[in-house]
């Protein structure tokens, strides 16, 4: 049975939003658990690699047998080294290090607002610069409503951080979350411009993270320069993070997010994921017993309305653009 491109795109959007929402709720629940952020980043990469790298090597073997292999990193990446490094830096290494590093300083609630909430803005700016898009009034209205809705959800805690009202080093985490968001938006726009399919893009990002992050992590933890509780943590917690962070957050949502970009484009895709802050806050209410407050309901309503405006509007290119080629 073959599904239409729209059906596949919508299904990919639903899966992506659900996994991202679960990621935030789990991050809130796990904030006081055994594993620090860089241990979780390590498990994220190892879990994803355990699934994707054997698959990538099998595909590389098939391609070599047919004389059409164009990958790199010994067959771990199906893309050339330039594309692998470009997508891997923004969509894998830098995003993971910045995002998980942010949790050292700021609570998960800040990450739930700043990372998915600011994606539409970053993606819009980059789409104008790299893809030559311009936006109609409906798209601009949608962006404004999304930003306002995200501020309604996390405005109080973010204001406390920015105004220094007992926030300590929280502002450092907020900056890291914003930087992580900009990296993911860059990855989103580059995937669209490069025309890379979802599976190959996710394999390339994972391969680059595996060969760059894991050796550095192993060296720094062995020298005691980076705190690690990996050996002391409960086995169940380690296995859960391997499965959820690696298989769920990287393999499944990585493929569905990239597939969503192929159908909706980077800006509309990131507008859809702006649902995550409000949904994760509702999930925290239902699962973690956090209070249900008026600004949460209002913020989710504004974000939903903004998405409805923005997703229906189509961007108009200023001029044709050629694919970005990296040798």
Biggest CA-to-CA distance, the chain: 63
289, 294, 298, 300: CA torsion to nearest 10: 0
Q: How many residues does the chain have?
A: 327
Confidence of residue 262 (pLDDT cuts 50, 70, 90): confident
Whether 204 contacts 77, CB under 8 Å: yes
Task: Give SS3 for 130.
Answer: helix
The separation between the first and the last C-alpha atoms of the chain, rounded to the nearest angstrom, is 39
* Neighbour count for residue 299 (Cβ, 10 Å): 25
Could you tell me the CA-to-CA distances from 53 to 73, 98, 205, 283, 290 in Å, in that order?
11, 24, 11, 33, 39
Instruction: Compare 191 and 6 and report the one with higher pLDDT.
Output: 191
Is the pLDDT at 57 greater than 90? The verdict is: yes
Confidence of residue 137 (pLDDT cuts 50, 70, 90): confident
Average pLDDT over residues 186-215: 90
DSSP-assigned beta bridge partners for residue 134: 316
Could you tell me the CA-to-CA distances from 179 to 90, 94, 100, 111, 162 in Å, in that order?
10, 9, 11, 11, 16
**pTM for the predicted model, two decimal places:** 0.79
Give per-residue pLDDT as tens, 18-43: 998 888 788 777 666 778 878 888 99
What is the pLDDT at residue 326? 36
- Taken in order 111, 276, 285, 19, the sign of the CA dihedral is negative
H or E element, residue 229: none
DSSP letter at 316 equals E
Percent of the chain with pLDDT over 90: 26
Confidence of residue 157 (pLDDT cuts 50, 70, 90): low
What is the pLDDT at residue 164? 62
DSSP letter at 77 equals B
Residue ranges of E strands in the chain: 133-134, 316-317
Nearest-angstrom CA–CA distance, 259 and 173: 30
Which tokens belong to 114? 């700043």
Is the pLDDT at 210 greater than 70? The verdict is: yes
DSSP-assigned beta bridge partners for residue 72: 77
Nearest-angstrom CA–CA distance, 52 and 39: 20
Which residue, among 74, 40, 48, 37, has the nearest Cα to 59 in the 3D structure? 74
């Amino acid at each position: 049975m073959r599904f239409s491109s729209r059906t596949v795109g919508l299904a990919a959007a639903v899966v992506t939003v659900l996994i991202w929402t679960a990621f935030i709720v789990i991050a809130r629940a796990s904030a006081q658990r055994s594993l620090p952020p860089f241990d979780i980043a390590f498990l994220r990469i190892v879990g994803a690699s355990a699934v994707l790298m054997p698959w990538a090597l099998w595909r590389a073997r098939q391609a070599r047998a047919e004389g059409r292999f164009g990958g790199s990193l010994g067959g771990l990446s199906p893309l050339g080294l330039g594309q692998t490094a470009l997508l891997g830096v923004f969509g894998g290494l830098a995003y993971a290090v910045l995002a998980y590093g942010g949790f050292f300083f700021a609570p998960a609630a800040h990450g739930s607002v700043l990372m998915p909430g600011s994606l539409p803005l970053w993606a819009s700016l980059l789409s104008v610069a790299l893809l030559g898009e311009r936006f109609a009034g409906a798209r601009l209205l949608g962006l404004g409503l999304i930003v306002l809705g995200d501020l309604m959800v996390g405005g109080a805690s973010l204001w406390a951080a920015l105004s220094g009202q007992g926030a300590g080093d929280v502002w450092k985490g907020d900056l890291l979350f914003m930087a992580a968001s900009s990296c993911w938006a860059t990855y989103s726009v580059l995937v669209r411009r490069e025309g890379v399919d979802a599976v190959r893009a996710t394999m390339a990002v994972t391969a680059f993270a595996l060969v760059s992050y894991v050796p550095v992590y192993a060296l720094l933890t062995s020298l005691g320069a980076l705190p690690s509780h990996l050996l002391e943590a409960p086995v169940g917690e380690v296995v859960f993070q391997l499965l959820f962070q690696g298989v769920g957050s990287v393999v499944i949502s990585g493929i569905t997010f990239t597939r969503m970009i192929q159908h909706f484009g980077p800006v509309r895709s990131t507008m859809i994921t702006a649902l995550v802050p409000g949904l994760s806050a509702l999930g925290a209410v239902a699962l973690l017993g956090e209070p249900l407050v008026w600004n949460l309901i209002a913020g989710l309503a504004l974000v939903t309305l903004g998405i409805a405006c923005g997703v229906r509007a189509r961007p108009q290119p200023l001029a044709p653009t050629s694919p970005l080629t990296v040798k």
